[in-house]
């Protein structure tokens, strides 16, 4: 290997290591936000949880505002990737819709951490235009998957909805957010498990299909795959 090639290789490895370290910092930052809110996400708190020094965190993000914006982008990208994987996994549009509804509660990130993060971000977005923009982008991606699956299901004549696809996608995402807030705060004794069943029953009624069959058939398939 020539000296030039070796230097290029060293820079490449270093850049890759820096990217991994940055992602790790953002992973821990999202946990701090979920536990302590946006205002509680200080460099000192993040350093204590992650093990990275305050100086290291400042090297990557300079200011707390930049860290918060990057954390929202990180969680949005991670969620979008997972949503896309789940979307592609379904055998037909109806299965995709069921999986997307389930994922709204049971993703790779535990419910308390995932929705604790977004609840704090939603609250902060009210007074922060930059966070508002990031939240809007995230919700647009999430809603877009429902629009795609709903349109496919309508085209395949799997659904008989009374509402238009765009309206139904907006309604589903709004119900998901509302139920998540109730479950996170244990309002009406709500739990993530009850949230899943409520989402499935609500969606089935809006889809114009039998709720029990929608839940039972998909559950049996999931069990068979495990």
Overall pTM surpassing 0.75 (yes/no): yes
Distance CA 69, CA 98 (A): 31
CB 70 within 8 A of CB 26: yes
- Cα(226)–Cα(210) distance, rounded to whole angstroms? 25
Cα gap 103→224, rounded to integer Å: 18
Q: Which residue has the tokens 């860290």?
A: 67
161 and 206 in contact (C-beta within 8 Å)? yes
Give the three-state DSSP class for 15: helix
In the predicted model, is pLDDT for residue 223 greater than 70? no
Residue with tokens 């997307």: 100
Asked if 169 and 147 touch (Cβ cutoff 8 Å), the reply is yes
> What pLDDT, on the 0 to 100 scale, is given for residue 108?
83
We report the CATH number of the domain holding residue 164 as 1.10.357.10
Handedness of CA 190, 191, 192, 198 (dihedral sign): negative
Rounded to whole angstroms, how far apart are CA atoms 121 and 79?
15
What's the gap between Cα 186 and its chain centre?
20
pLDDT of residue 82: 84
Condensed to tens digits (0 to 9), the pLDDT of residues 166-185 reads 999 999 999 999 999 999 98
- Give the span between the Cα atoms of 190 and 146, in whole angstroms: 24
Q: How many CB atoms lie within 10 A of CB 10?
A: 10
pLDDT above 90 coverage of the chain, percent:
57
How many angstroms from the chain centroid is the CA of residue 216?
A: 25
Write down the pLDDT at residue 169. Answer: 96
Q: How far apart are the first and last CA of the chain?
A: 48
Domain count, the chain: 1
Domain of residue 37, residue span: 3-225
Per-residue pLDDT tens over the stretch 127-168 = 888 888 888 888 888 899 899 999 999 999 999 998 999 999
Per-residue pLDDT, 41: 95
> Looking at residues 51-75, what average pLDDT do you find?
93
Q: What is the mean pLDDT of residues 189-203?
A: 91
Provide the pLDDT for residue 155: 94
Phi, psi dihedrals of residue 163, rounded to the nearest 5°: -95, 160
CA distance 136 to 125: 10
């Amino acid at each position: 290997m020539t000296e030039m090639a070796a230097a290029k290789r060293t820079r490449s490895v270093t850049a890759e290591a820096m990217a991994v370290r940055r992602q790790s910092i953002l992973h821990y930052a999202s946990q701090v936000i979920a536990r302590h809110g946006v205002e509680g996400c200080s460099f000192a708190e993040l350093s204590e949880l992650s093990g990275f020094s305050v100086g290291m965190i400042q090297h990557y993000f300079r200011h707390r505002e930049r860290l918060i914006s990057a954390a929202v982008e990180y969680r949005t990208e991670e969620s979008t990737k997972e949503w896309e994987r789940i979307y592609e996994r379904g055998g037909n549009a109806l299965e995709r819709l069921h999986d997307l509804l389930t994922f709204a509660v049971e993703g790779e990130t535990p419910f308390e951490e995932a929705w604790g993060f977004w609840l704090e971000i939603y609250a902060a977005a009210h007074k922060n235009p930059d966070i508002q923009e990031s939240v809007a982008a995230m919700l647009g991606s999430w809603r877009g998957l429902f629009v795609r699956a709903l349109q496919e299901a309508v085209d395949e004549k799997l659904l008989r909805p009374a509402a238009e696809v765009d309206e139904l996608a907006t309604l589903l995402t709004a119900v998901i957010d509302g139920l998540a807030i109730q479950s996170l705060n244990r309002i009406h004794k709500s739990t993530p498990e009850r949230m899943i069943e409520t989402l499935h029953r609500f969606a089935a009624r809006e889809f114009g299909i039998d709720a029990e069959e929608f839940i039972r058939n998909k559950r049996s398939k999931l069990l068979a795959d495990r």
